[in-house]
Amino acid sequence: MSPSVRHNLRVSLTARLLVALILPTAALALVLGVGGALFIDRIVESVNDRPLDASVRSIADTLALENGEVTLDLPPSAFGMLENEERDNVYYSVHVGEDLLTGYPDLPRVHTAGERIDETSFAYSTYRDSPVRVAVIVRHVPRVEAPIVVQVAETLDARRSLSRQMLSGLFALEALLIGLLVLLLPLAVRWGLFPLVEVRRGIDNRSATDFTPLTLQQVPTELRGFVTAFNGLLFRLHEAVEGLRRFTADASHQMRTPLSILRAHLQVLKREGTGTPVGQASLADIDVATARLQRLLTQLLALARAEGNRESFGRLVRAVDLGRLARSVAEEHVPAALRKGVDIQFDTEERATARTVEELARELVSNLVDNAIRYNHKGGTVWLRVTLLADAVRILIEDDGPGIPAAMQADVFKRFLRLDRDRAVEGSGLGLAIVKELADALAASMRIASRQNGGLSIEIDFPVMAEPPRAGGESAS
């Protein structure tokens, strides 16, 4: 097979279908041709053997015994029935035992296996350099001991002529059939592939922002899996585009305020200068707005990262010691807790290893600890505990702050949602939204509840990977 043909079979579905249909059809035509030739040979032989059998029997039927001698009468019909357009030669012989009674003396004696009395046997032989078909019959005449053998031989011109005519007709029909297949199969294949063309048109006619799923109503069964997969791709693409739109809208909305503050205070600095009390106040406000803007951008990027790359997280999953990770996060937040006047208590009963993405798990825990400190009151406490369960590693973050009303707990993971009481606290309302996205991306289950003594309790369960536990406990404040 040439390289160009192999290339076409790889890239052309029509070519593959044509080859898949034509090759079996050609093989079937070959089998039918060989089988037809054998069948025609049997039919021609059977048709031509019947008059040969009748001829030899008509001669044998005239055998008689007169005055102690075997006699026979050769009827004209015995050879007349063998006449044909090809004018085949006919030969005969009659032997009584080994003695020739009449006929052609050099006609070879044909001995067929299993000769029976009064049953005609047939065999092929050669006489006078020509192939012949010989019919042989053995008769017994009363009072004659030796069997009488009658042979009639006929050349094969008529048989061959009839075989050629029938084979020519068979091959002509096969050639016509193959020719019709070659002409019609491409049309049939294109007709069969027309639903693919319709699907392609449905895709081509869409706008760049149209993510409506393709309908399955008129799609053939064989294409429904493909269309379903394509609809799934559309859904994932729609989610990605919507995520980008939300990110853009959220970023522009949230950055508008700090940027407006920066612009306003820069105008004040231009007018008042940096050496005046008003200028110094503006510098302080610019510093706060810049820090707020920096934190907002960091959180927006974390949110976009959690939303946009879930498919790639599987390659980053590995065994992570969540006890050590939580301890590191607690230590990082000690300065912020001291500034707020909040105590951090860290405790782990045993080493707990889970399969997760370390960077994202750290960001998740860090956001929860940051929220617990930021919205707590002076003198409050934040507890960070890591527990190894049977099938998960649980990280528990609790605080004794004002908590979240039960009616609002279902909505706290929405973006930019802030309680009215918390307006005075610096924040953007993205912390818990980021936590929810990260937990979903890491296949970690999360629960939020109010503590009995006041405050908030959040549990995150990470899928566990079994490792020998190590008991221990630590505290950071």
Q: Residue 404 is part of a domain; what is its CATH number?
A: 3.30.565.10
Residue 180 vs residue 475, higher pLDDT: 180
Query: Is residue 6 in some structural domain?
Result: no
The predicted structure's pLDDT at residue 344: 92
Comparing CA positions, the residue from 278, 358, 289 lying closest to residue 326 is: 358
The predicted structure's pLDDT at residue 397: 92
- Same-domain status, 237 and 269: yes
- Same-domain status, 379 and 450: yes
Q: 247: domain range?
A: 221-307
Mean pLDDT (whole number) for 306-323:
72
Q: Flag whether pLDDT at 473 surpasses 50.
A: no
Cβ–Cβ < 8 Å for 470, 350:
yes
Lowest mean pLDDT among 94-103, 155-164, 398-407: 398-407
Q: Flag whether pLDDT at 469 surpasses 50.
A: no
- Same-domain status, 157 and 85: yes
Mean pLDDT (whole number) for 27-46:
88
Domain end among 307, 329, 360: 307
CA-angle at 458, arms to 452 and 463, nearest 5°: 135
Q: Cβ neighbours of residue 20 under 8 Å, at least 6 residues apart?
A: none
Per residue in 403-457, pLDDT tens? 777 666 666 666 655 554 455 455 555 667 778 888 888 888 888 888 888 888 9
- Same-domain status, 21 and 88: yes
- Same-domain status, 459 and 324: yes
Query: Is residue 171 in some structural domain?
Result: no
What are 13's two structure tokens? 């579905």
Q: Flag whether pLDDT at 114 surpasses 70.
A: no
- Same-domain status, 30 and 81: yes
Query: Is residue 204 in some structural domain?
Result: no
**For the chain, how many structural domains are there in total?**
3
Query: Is residue 324 in some structural domain?
Result: yes
Query: Is residue 210 in some structural domain?
Result: no
- Same-domain status, 261 and 132: no
The predicted structure's pLDDT at residue 151: 92
C-alpha distance from residue 447 to each of 238, 384, 410, 441 (Å)? 29, 15, 10, 16
- Same-domain status, 301 and 356: no
Q: Cβ neighbours of residue 324 under 8 Å, at least 6 residues apart?
A: 351
- Same-domain status, 275 and 320: no
Query: Is residue 111 in some structural domain?
Result: yes
CA atoms 192, 194, 198, 204: torsion sign: positive
Query: Is residue 29 in some structural domain?
Result: yes
The predicted structure's pLDDT at residue 131: 94
Query: Is residue 449 in some structural domain?
Result: yes
- Same-domain status, 28 and 132: yes
CATH number assigned to the domain comprising residue 290: 1.10.287.130
- Same-domain status, 254 and 379: no
275: confidence class by pLDDT, cuts 50, 70, 90: confident
Domain end among 164, 189, 211: 164
Prediction pTM value: 0.45
- Same-domain status, 447 and 319: yes
Q: Which long-range contacts (CB under 8 A, 24 or more apart) does 60-69 make?
A: 60/137, 60/139, 60/148, 60/150, 63/94, 63/139, 63/141, 63/148, 63/150, 64/141, 65/141, 65/142, 65/143, 65/144
